[in-house]
Structure 1
Amino acid sequence: MRHPVPIILAALLALSLPVSAVGTAGTAGSTGSATVANESDDEEQTFQFQNPSVSVEGDHAQLEGTPNRLVLRGDGKTAYATPTLDFALAVSSHDESIHTDCRTYAFENSLGEIEDDENRTEAVVSELERIEERVEKLREREQAIVAANAAGDVSEDEVLRTLARNSYEAQVLQQALNDLDDQSAGIIDISDSVDALTAELEVYRGPIRTDIERSIRGVDESDDAPESNPTILLESAPDGLTLSMLDGDTYVRETTRYDNRARDRSDQIRTMDNARTTAQELYPWAFETTSGTYTIKHEATNLYQVQALSHDQGQLTVYLDGGSNAVYHERQTLDRDSIPIETTDSMSSDNVTATLERTPDTAPARITVTESESETPVDATVSVDGTVVGETGEDGKVWFVPPTDGFELTVRAESTSLNAVEFPRR
C-alpha cells in the first residue's frame, strides 16, 4: 500500500522581518501582510511571521504581565534532557549517607569525652567549618560541569548526574547541620550559621533538581516520586545555568548565576529593607501583585533571601548576593494558565492547522492542532530540535517549554508534517 506523501511547510518566525496576516501579536508587537512562495511542485511553502524581541536590562529579561526573569550571559548550549536511573550513582549516594551518619555518631561520642568547655567549642566550630567547606564544593562542582557543558565538552546526562549528586548531598549535609545544631546545645549557639547554610543548600534542593535526583536514584512511588521522568530544558553558559520544565499545570524555572556569587566581598546591601527594595526594582510586577513578602538576611553566607509569597501567577524566590549586589539564584513557579499569551501564529496544510501561542519570553508555549476546515482536534506529536516534547490531547492542545535562543519546531500529524524555524527573541 502506498503511503501519502507528507506536506512540508517551513515557517520562518523572524525577529524583525515584515510580515504575516496569519500571525497575531499581543502587547509586544503587531502583524503585517502575508507572503506565500510556492518554491517547487511539491507544495513547499514559506511563511514569515513577525516575532517580537524581548529586551534585557542588566541581568533580567523585561516582561509584561508576568515576573521578569534572570538570564544567562555568554555563549552556551541549550538542550532537552530526561533523567533516568543511574544505579552506580544510587549506590554511591547511599554510601555517602551511611558515611555521614557514621561521622555524626563518632563526633557526638568524641564531643562527650571532651570536658573542657573551650575545647568543646573549638570542636563544634571545626565541624561546622568542615560542613561549610563541603557546601562550597557543591557550587564549585556544579559550576565546573555546567561550564564544560556550555563548551561542548560534556553531555547533558553528565550535568544531570552532577545535579542529582549535589541535590542528594545537600540533603545529607542538611541533616548533618541539624544534628550538629542539636549536639552544640549548651556549648555554643550556631543557629545563625545553620540557618545561613540551610539557605545556601536550598539552591541545590529546588523542585527541578529534586525531580532529577529522584529519577536518577530511582525513588519509587511510595516515596512521593514523580509519576514519570520529567523532560527538562537545560540552558548552560560559562557562568550560569537555567533549568525549566512543566510540572502538571505549573511552569517551573530555576536560574543560577555563578558569576554573581561574591561571598568574600564586603556586604553592599547591608539591610533587609535594601534587599527588599532591590528585589522590587528587579521584579516590579511580582511585588506589585503579591499578597505578601518575606525577607531574611544570612550574614554568615552573605546572602539575602527575598520572596514574593503569592503573586497573581505563583511564587518568586530570589537569593541576592551581598558582595555583588546582584541575583545569585532565582526560582519561579508559575500557574501555566495564568501567564498571558503574547503572540499567536498559525501554519497550515490543506487539511491540518497548527497554532503556536507564546507567552512572554517564549516559554511556556502552547500548540493547538486541528483540521483546517472543521477545526476538529487532531492527534499530533510535537518536537523541538528533534526531541519530542509532547503529544496533543483530546482538545488538540499541548503545552511545552521552548528554548529562548531559537529552535526548529515540528508538528507531525497522521499524514502531514508542519515545520517552523523560530529565531532568538533576546
Structure 2
Amino acid sequence: MRRFTCVALLALLVLSPIGTAASAPAVPADTAAERPTLSADVTSRTSISNDTTRRLELDTVSTQGYGTPGLDLGAAVAMNRETVDSNYQLELLSVRLGAASSDEARQALVEAAIEDVESRVDTLQQQERQAIEAYGAGDISERELLKRLALVGYRAEQTKDTIARLERSTGASLGYLTRQANEYSTPTRSALFRTLNNERDGSLQAQVQGSQSGVVIQLLAQTGPDLEYYREAVRLDHWDTDTTNGFDNRTEFLEYTEGRYPYVRESSGVNIWEFRRGSWFYESPLDQGSIRIYVDGSQRKVYREYQQLTVSALPVSNSVNATDYGVEVVINETANGGPARIQVQNVLSGDAIAAPVMVDGTVVGQTDDDGIHWFTQPSGDYEVTVELPQGPINVSVSS
C-alpha cells in the first residue's frame, strides 16, 4: 500500500502557475479538456543486470512513500548535548585512572567504561529495530522513520569516536566494538542527519519501502560535480542473533558474496572479516562507487547492504517515451531498480521544458533548465505525472 504524504503541496502546485524553460505548443482549451490522459508501459524491471550491483530487496513491501526528516534544531541540540556528555565522561575517566591507587582499581574503571560502550551499541540496535518495525506497522511516517535512523547513525559515529578515545587513553583493544557500532553508521544516515542539522537546507528527499521485517531507503544527493545514489537495505528477518554457526573460512564467504553479487568480482581493495560469531562483513570500492554487506552465516543471507553509487556510471535498463500536447516525456530507468531519469521537451523545437514531476501523486521535484530530473523509484508498479499548463501527461511504469 502506498501512502501519499504531499497532498497539500500537490494541490498548491496544481493551482499555481507552472514555470517552463520553454513553452509547450498551445492547445485550445476545449481540445485539451476532451483529450484523454496519455499512458505508456515499460518492460519489466524484474530482469537482473550484472553490469551494476545487485540490490537487497524486501520480500513484501507493506508501506512506502517519499519523505525527508526536515530541519530539526531540537534533535541537533540534543545530539550536541550527548556529545558533550560523552566527552565529559571520558575526561572524568582519565582523571580517575590517574588517581587510581592500584592496577586492580584501574582495571575496574576500564571494564566499567567498556561495559558502558557495549550498552550504547546494544541501544543502537534496539532503536533501529524499533523504528523499522514501527514504520512497517504503519505507526510512524516516513519523516519520523528517517529522523530516527538519522539519529541512530549520528550516535553510532559518536560511539566510534568514544571507542577510539577510550583505546588511546586505556590501551584496550576494542576493534570489535568499533565494527559493531559501524554497522549502524551509513552514508544514507549521514546525509539525512545533515538535513536535520540544516546543512542541506532541509531539501533532501528519500524514498522509503518498509515492512515489519525490514526497510529500504533510497536517496539522491549532489556530491561535488556528481549526483550520488545512496541506498541502504536492512532485513531484520535475515539475522539470527543467537546462532554461532557460520561460514567455515574467508574463502567460503568470498565465494558466497561473489555468487550473490557478480559485479563485485573485479573489485580490488576488499575488506573481509568475521564480524560477529557466525556473521561476516564485506566492504569494497567499485568502479561505480562502493558497497558494504553484512551476511548471517547460519542462514546464508544478507541482512544489511549499504551502497553509494555515481548516477552517471549506472547502466540504463529500460526506456519509455510518451508524447501529448506537443510535448515528449522520456523516462530512462537504470538497472536493478536504481534511479530513473526523466526528460521533458518540446517536440517541434526540442527545447527543454521545466515542469513539476510527481510519482504516485507525490511531488519528487521539477525538471531543470535542460528539462531533466532524476528520481528514486518505488517498489512495484507506479505512475509518473508531468504537470503542464495544458494538462498532465501520465506514464505508467510496470515492475
TM-score when scaled to structure 1? 0.79
Runs (5+) with no aligned partner, structure 1 = 9-40, 56-61, 219-224
Give the drift of 1:6: 9.5
Asked whether the 8 Å contact 1:361–1:404 carries over to 2, the reply is no
* 1:265–1:358 Cα change, 3 Å: same
Residues 207-233 of structure 1: CA distance to partner in whole angstroms, max 9, x if unpaired? Answer: 220121122133xxxxxx446631111
SS at match of 2:351: coil
- CA 1:308–1:95 in structure 2 vs 1: closer, same or farther (change >3 Å)? closer
In structure 2, what is the Cα distance between the partners aligned to 1:331 and 1:148? 21
CA distance in 1, matches of 2:356, 2:30: 14
State whether structure 2 residue 85 is matched by structure 1 residue 99: yes
Match of 2:178 in 1: 198
Partner of 1:295: 272
Q: Secondary structure at the match of 1:317?
A: strand
Give the letter for the 1:412 counterpart.
Answer: E
In structure 2, list runs of 5 or more residues that go unmatched: 1-26
Residues 114, 73 of structure 1: alpha-carbon distance in 2 compared, 3 angstrom cutoff: farther
| Conserved? CA contact 2:385–2:394, under 8 Å | yes
Percent sequence identity over aligned pairs: 26
1:418 matched residue in structure 2? 393
> Which of 139, 144, 151 is the equivalent residue of 1:153?
139
Between the two structures, name the one with larger relative contact order (CA 8 Å, sep ≥ 6): 2
Counterpart contact for 1:6–1:417, Cα < 8 Å = no
Rounded Cα–Cα distance in structure 2 between residues aligned with 1:7 and 1:115: 91
**Which digits, 9 at most, give the CA deviation of each residue in 1:9-59, with x for residues without a partner?**
xxxxxxxxxxxxxxxxxxxxxxxxxxxxxxxx812155453531416xxxx
**Counterpart residue number, 1:276:** 254
Mapping of residues 388-407 of structure 1, within 5 Å: 388-407=363-382
Structure 2 equivalent of residue 254 of structure 1: 232
Deviates more, 1:313-322 or 1:248-257: 313-322
Give me the whole-angstrom Cα distance separating, in 1, the residues matched to 2:238 and 2:162.
27
**Residue 302 (structure 1) shift:** 5.3
Shift of 1:202: 2.3
Given that 2:154 and 2:189 are in contact with CA atoms closer than 8 Å, whether structure 1 keeps it comes out as no
Paired residue for 2:217, among 210, 234, 243? 243
Distance 2:355 2:181 in 1: 41
Paired residue secondary structure (1:243): strand
Classify 1:399/1:108 alpha carbon distance in 2 versus 1 (closer, same or farther; 3 Å).
same
Q: Call closer, same or farther: CA 1:342–1:177 in 2, change over 3 Å.
A: same
Alignment partners' CA distance in 2, 1:257 and 1:421: 29
Does residue 264 (structure 1) correspond to residue 256 (structure 2)? The answer is no
Partner of 1:14: none
Structure 2 contact 70–202 (Cα < 8 Å) conserved: no
* C-alpha RMSD of matched pairs (Å): 2.6
For 1:420, the aligned partner's letter is V
Cα 1:260–1:250 change in 2 (3 A) is same
User: Paired residue for 1:123, among 84, 90, 109?
Assistant: 109
CA distance in 2, matches of 1:176, 1:162: 21
1:254 is paired with a residue of what secondary structure?
strand
Q: CA deviation at 1:407?
A: 2.2
Matched, 1:172 2:155: no
- The residue number in structure 2 matching 1:217 is 197
Q: Go from structure 1 to structure 2 and tell me whether the alpha carbon gap of 1:112 and 1:307 turns closer, same or farther (over 3 Å shift).
A: same
SS of 1:342's equivalent in the other structure is strand
2:72 aligned partner: 86
Partner of 1:70, secondary structure, is coil
Q: Does 1:42 align with 2:34?
A: yes
Tell me, in whole angstroms, the C-alpha distance in 1 between the residues paired with 2:155 and 2:370: 42
Residues matched between the structures, number: 370
State the one-letter code of the partner of 1:96: E
> What is the CA deviation profile of residues 159-182 of structure 1, one whole-angstrom value per residue up to 9, with x for unaligned ones?
122112212211221222112212
The answer on whether the counterparts of 1:350 and 1:372 sit within 8 Å (CA) in structure 2 is: no
Q: Per-residue displacement from partner, 1:51-109 (whole Å, max 9, x unpaired)?
A: 31416xxxxxx434211111113342111112222122122212212221222222223
Q: Which amino acid aligns with 1:247?
A: A
Partner of 1:346: 321
Q: Matched residue of 2:378: which SS?
A: coil
State the 1:318 CA deviation.
1.1
Look up the match of 1:222: none
Identify if the C-alpha distance between structure 1 residues 355 and 156 changes in structure 2 by more than 3 Å, giving closer, same or farther.
same
Structure 1 residues 128 and 5, CA, compared in 2 at 3 Å: closer, same or farther?
farther
Per the alignment, do residues 7 and 406 of structure 1 end up closer, same or farther by CA in structure 2, a change over 3 Å counting? farther
Identify the residue that residue 360 of structure 2 maps to in structure 1.
385
What is the TM-score when the length of structure 2 is the normalising length? 0.84
**1:77 aligned residue (59, 63, 72):** 63
CA distance in 2, matches of 1:305, 1:7: 60
Q: State the partner residue of 1:232.
A: 206
Which secondary structure does the structure 2 equivalent of 1:417 belong to? strand
* Secondary structure in structure 2 of the residue aligned to 1:319: strand
Map residues 332-371 of structure 1 onto 2, 5 A cutoff.
332-371=307-346
CA distance in 1, matches of 2:202, 2:162: 31
Distance 1:336 1:75 in 2: 25
What secondary structure sits across from 1:108 in the alignment? helix
Report SS of the residue matched to 1:262. Answer: coil
